[in-house]
Structure 1
Amino acid sequence: MLLRLRAENFAIIDELEMEFSPGFSVLSGETGAGKSILIDALTFALGAKAGGEQIRTGAEFAEVQAVFSPERNRSLEMFLEEQGLAPGEEIIIRRQLNSAGKSRGWLNARPASLSMLHQLGGKLVDIYGQHDYQTLLEPEHHLHFLDDYAGLWSRFAKYPGLFQQYQELAAEFARMKMSDQERREKEELLRFRISELERAHLVPGEEPELEAERERLKHSELLRQASETGHLELYSQDNAMAGRMSRIQKEMEKAGEFDPELLRLARVLADARAAVEEVGRELGAYLQRLNADPARLEEIENRLAELRRLKRKYQAELPELVALLKASRKELDELAHFESRTADLEKKLTACKEQTLELARGLSKERKSQAKLLERKVEQLLKELGMAKSRFEVRFAELPEPTALGIDSLEFFLSPNPGEELKPLAKIASGGELSRIMLALRGIL
């Protein structure tokens, strides 16, 4: 519990220190007396966002210190142990904000980040504002209140996965349910696509090879001239470079008997001559392979044009067209066995739905049992909060189909006074009554 709260230069506070006794404490006063500033000071100490307007006019800094007694709370104890603090010690939180907007925090005299203070605050204090009851006006939140109270989801942990499986099967079954006319149209489209792509005899990697061959054919005369000149000059004519190099090599070897350095250079020349001869021979072979067939060039142009047409039509590259053909064949095969596959899927869907409903009904049964306990606890706390004659009830309705939260739709009903019938909270409860109901629920949770 909160033992002491000290504030200095915070908002309109010059200096203030308050001590709290065990039990229920009330801060009362007229509007504008500063009650909410004390709450702001506490939230500031616990890591809330802060701005320069929270520093008292004329002061250079604001500081708030909050002291809590240790509570038997395992989550809190684990957090304190992680920070190197003994769980049984008093918890002293201090935070300071300077005029430059820089903020610093301490936990039991040790520096602490705002994130750390914020986490700790969530384990120490539950702050409830006057407008927080708005969630009670929305029935979709009532189910979450009950589930948080009952803690049922640990026992029904399989349900979310089972419901997701049911959703996936239902979606697949809905996709497969089509009219005979739709199915015939789909089959016709697939057959045409498959026929068109099969006629194209698509080969992955074909396009760049064809483009390279087209370039060779388009420039075949230039390629022939260059390779023929190289073959003649390097290797095949009478005064070719390879022959001249051979003669020079022999002269150098003969003279090299008198100087090893020249003999070494002759060997280097021999290697160069061998390379020139190899290039000359390969140029000759290249000339033999060189094709200048105009008919082949036209054939390649037509093939590339067909590939471009298919790519434009299907908005896909060649590898994707090959994958599309494979997928289309599979889809056509599935349509051919449509009735048997649909029947099989329907059986799976029915079985999964039954399992989902069985688990959802078990969850619903537990909820209804826990709802009775919640009703009694809320009514007891409402008595302590000045609503001694009120009645509180949780009413259930079964949904036509399972949802991610089961098959229950529920709403909180209230009769604030004797003789009044139970009605939905949103239609009957005043702001003050809603605040007390929320306080009761917070106390239970």
Structure 2
Amino acid sequence: MLRGLDIRDMLIIDRLELEFQPGLNALTGETGAGKSILLDSLGFVLGWRGRAELVRSGAEQGEVTAWFDLPVDHPARAVLDEAGIGAEDELILRRVNAKDGRKTAWVNDRRVSGEVLRRLSDVLVELHGQHDDRGLLNPRGHRQLLDEFAGLTEDVEALRGLWRSLAAERLKLEALNANIAAAREEEDFLRHAVAELETLEPQPGEEATLDAQRRLMQAAEKIREDITRAAEALGLQGAEGMLSDASRWLGSVADKAEGQLDDPMAAIERAMVELDAAQSGVVASLDALAFNPSDLEDTEERLFAIRALARKHNVLADDLGEFAAELRSKLAVVDGGSAELSAQERRVEAARIAYVQAAEAVRQKRTAAAKKLDQAMTMELAPLKMERAVFATKLDTSDEGPEGIDDVHFAVATNPGAPAGPLNKIASGGELSRFLLALKVCLTKSSKSGLTMIFDEIDRGVGGATADAVGRRLAELAETGQILVVTHSPQVAALAGHHWLVEKTQSTSETLSSVIPLDASDRIDEIARMLSGDKVTEAAKEAAKALME
């Protein structure tokens, strides 16, 4: 609910603060007094598109602040949460318009974009008037209005889920078809490449191993010569023979040396053990270097084949095995594509059947709800002196989509037998206002949106008993919410629970607009003025009292 509005330096308002109440709030005043400026200012702070020049002449900037009560279950909390703004029991919107046209907005002291304001406005305030293309006159929103009237919110949400599932399965089918087509285009290459790779069967790390073996074999002759010399130096003709002789000579005299040779002999024994290990390693190296001349050719042939294949496919030699697996998976798409394609087509068809069944069920509920809405409208139009008018909720088949297969729009015929057409093209100004009011009454009975509703001169062109019926419908709507009505009808103003007078004052230098809350006595005078014109008579006052009673 809108609790208050603070306007500074906007058009012909220098400073104005209003506190609104639950129920029916009426704003009255002479034409040109500034009632539309209040709506322009409220629309500005809510991010609506409106007048380009709003800053009061001579001021540096204009500013509007609006504050709302925010119950725990209010849909605005979800918008705030998505925008990363903490929700409290009071929501404060503030927007500034600089003289150069720059606009800046805050929500609960957090800087926000105009888009966030507009999303909040969708769940905070609803404007209805003869030129309102955002609300009931917009055919694009008629399906949603019918769904709310029918209580189909959960059904439509489930339908959206089935539509998303169907779309996802269709995307998978498209991707699979594309993959199969691409794989078939390169089938010959894939089969040749896979056969080539499987024949060679390269292993990770094999290139480095083969390269090391090749280099070793290329240098083997020179290495063997030096290793053989080392083997001879370590053998019986060399170190081994000399250590054996030394051990034998020392052993023959050790018992006469009084233990002096024990340590040297032990060291020689250890040296002979290490020498044996060295000899074994040298012999093993010689054995490893023994190869047939064809071994080098075989090693080089495989090494060059691996490197050539890696260059051919532009991959590292160690990645050839992984590359072969990738090619085999592509080939598997070709070989098993038909079966997988059939399986995916079955999944698409199953998803489509589930969607169509749900869409048909929603269509049946919409059809039934459309009849109920038409009946409810017939009941509402009669008191508004439009008992001969016909309201029809039209359902046409549309392309499949997230909300089903129905195109919904409201049509009217103002006289029996006349062709039905769109609300804003068939109805005249006064008729249109009454159609909109009746429709809002019917839709609001099933709505729990918590919106503040604004009716801008929706009673224009009607008077007498019809204006009284309009006022009573507005009062009925206001029983469970908040209605702001800008009106020239005394019958409507008399039914309001709260009444403000919009006045314009002029001086030699400027024109200013002000808004005055009226008490019971002032209300009688204002409603009498609305009845009689500039000259308020006692008869007019008595008539005003009668209306208020």
Structure 1 length-normalised TM: 0.59
Task: Report the counterpart of residue 253 of structure 2 in structure 1.
Answer: none
Matches of 1:295 and 1:301, distance apart in 2: 10
Identify which of 211, 214, 217 aligns with 1:217: 214
Task: Report the counterpart of residue 233 of structure 2 in structure 1.
Answer: 238
The structure carrying a bigger helix percent of its residues is: 1
Task: Report the counterpart of residue 113 of structure 1 in structure 2.
Answer: 110
Matches of 1:92 and 1:356, distance apart in 2: 40
Change (3 A) 1:332 1:441: farther
Matches of 2:277 and 2:28, distance apart in 1: 102
Task: Report the counterpart of residue 13 of structure 1 in structure 2.
Answer: 13
Task: Report the counterpart of residue 144 of structure 1 in structure 2.
Answer: 144
**Counterpart residue type for residue 370 of structure 2:** A
Task: Report the counterpart of residue 328 of structure 1 in structure 2.
Answer: 331
Matches of 1:431 and 1:318, distance apart in 2: 79
Task: Report the counterpart of residue 372 of structure 2 in structure 1.
Answer: 373
Number of residue pairs aligned between Structure 1 and Structure 2: 401
Task: Spell out the pairing of 1:269-348 with structure 2 (5 A cutoff).
Answer: 284=286, 287-288=289-290, 293-309=296-312, 318-329=321-332, 331-333=334-336, 335=338, 342=342
Identify which of 192, 198, 201 aligns with 2:198: 201
**Structure number with larger C-alpha Rg:** 2
1:396 CA displacement: 1.9
Partner secondary structure for residue 145 of structure 1: helix
**Counterpart residue type for residue 364 of structure 2:** K
**CA-to-partner distance for each residue in 1:174-195, whole Å, 9 max, x for gaps?**
9999xxxx99x99897577436
Task: Report the counterpart of residue 362 of structure 1 in structure 2.
Answer: 361
Task: Report the counterpart of residue 392 of structure 2 in structure 1.
Answer: 393
**CA-to-partner distance for each residue in 1:379-401, whole Å, 9 max, x for gaps?**
667789997764321122345x7
Matches of 2:430 and 2:277, distance apart in 1: 101
Change (3 A) 1:325 1:350: closer
Whether the 8 Å CA contact 2:150–2:366 is kept in 1: the answer is yes
**CA-to-partner distance for each residue in 1:57-98, whole Å, 9 max, x for gaps?**
776886655465x68774279899x9797x6xxx58485869
Whether the 8 Å CA contact 2:60–2:98 is kept in 1: the answer is yes
Matches of 2:323 and 2:29, distance apart in 1: 74
Structure having greater relative contact order (Cα 8 Å, sep ≥ 6)? 2
**Counterpart residue type for residue 233 of structure 2:** D
Partner secondary structure for residue 233 of structure 2: coil
**Counterpart residue type for residue 147 of structure 2:** D
Change (3 A) 1:348 1:203: same
Partner secondary structure for residue 359 of structure 1: helix
**CA-to-partner distance for each residue in 1:346-373, whole Å, 9 max, x for gaps?**
7776665554433322211111111223
In structure 1, stretches of 5+ residues that fail to align are 251-256, 259-268
1:160 CA displacement: 3.9
**Counterpart residue type for residue 198 of structure 1:** A
Whether the 8 Å CA contact 1:5–1:42 is kept in 2: the answer is no
Whether the 8 Å CA contact 2:106–2:112 is kept in 1: the answer is no
Task: Report the counterpart of residue 41 of structure 2 in structure 1.
Answer: 40
Change (3 A) 1:275 1:127: farther
Change (3 A) 1:287 1:138: farther
Partner secondary structure for residue 75 of structure 1: coil
1:106 CA displacement: 9.2
The structure carrying a bigger strand percent of its residues is: 2
Change (3 A) 1:132 1:277: farther
Matches of 1:2 and 1:372, distance apart in 2: 34
1:135 CA displacement: 7.8
In structure 2, stretches of 5+ residues that fail to align are 247-258, 261-270, 448-549
> Is 1:406 matched up with 2:401?
no
Change (3 A) 1:230 1:384: farther
Whether the 8 Å CA contact 2:5–2:67 is kept in 1: the answer is yes
Instruction: Provide the identity percentage.
Output: 22
1:7 CA displacement: 2.8
Whether the 8 Å CA contact 2:410–2:422 is kept in 1: the answer is yes
Matches of 2:404 and 2:172, distance apart in 1: 21
Partner secondary structure for residue 6 of structure 2: strand
Matches of 1:293 and 1:305, distance apart in 2: 18
Whether the 8 Å CA contact 1:55–1:97 is kept in 2: the answer is no
Matches of 1:97 and 1:174, distance apart in 2: 50
Change (3 A) 1:143 1:93: closer
**Counterpart residue type for residue 197 of structure 1:** V
Change (3 A) 1:422 1:317: farther
**Counterpart residue type for residue 37 of structure 2:** S
Matches of 1:43 and 1:77, distance apart in 2: 18
Partner secondary structure for residue 206 of structure 1: coil
- Aligned CA-pair RMSD: 6.3
1:285 CA displacement: 6.2
Whether the 8 Å CA contact 1:311–1:321 is kept in 2: the answer is no
Whether the 8 Å CA contact 1:65–1:95 is kept in 2: the answer is yes
Partner secondary structure for residue 14 of structure 1: strand
Task: Report the counterpart of residue 26 of structure 2 in structure 1.
Answer: 25
Whether the 8 Å CA contact 1:187–1:332 is kept in 2: the answer is no
Structure 2 length-normalised TM: 0.51
Whether the 8 Å CA contact 2:139–2:408 is kept in 1: the answer is yes
Whether the 8 Å CA contact 1:230–1:280 is kept in 2: the answer is no
**CA-to-partner distance for each residue in 1:254-310, whole Å, 9 max, x for gaps?**
xxx99xxxxxxxxxx99x999998986786566447987235323432343245435
Task: Report the counterpart of residue 265 of structure 1 in structure 2.
Answer: none
Partner secondary structure for residue 25 of structure 1: strand
1:325 CA displacement: 1.6
1:407 CA displacement: 3.1
Whether the 8 Å CA contact 1:61–1:98 is kept in 2: the answer is yes
Task: Spell out the pairing of 1:10-159 with structure 2 (5 A cutoff).
Answer: 10=10, 13-20=13-20, 22-26=23-27, 33=34, 35-36=36-37, 39-40=40-41, 43-44=44-45, 64=64, 66=66, 74-75=73-74, 93=92, 95=94, 112-113=109-110, 124-127=124-127, 133=133, 141-155=141-155, 158-159=158-159
Change (3 A) 1:326 1:237: same
Whether the 8 Å CA contact 2:130–2:432 is kept in 1: the answer is no
Whether the 8 Å CA contact 1:7–1:64 is kept in 2: the answer is yes
Whether the 8 Å CA contact 2:395–2:407 is kept in 1: the answer is yes
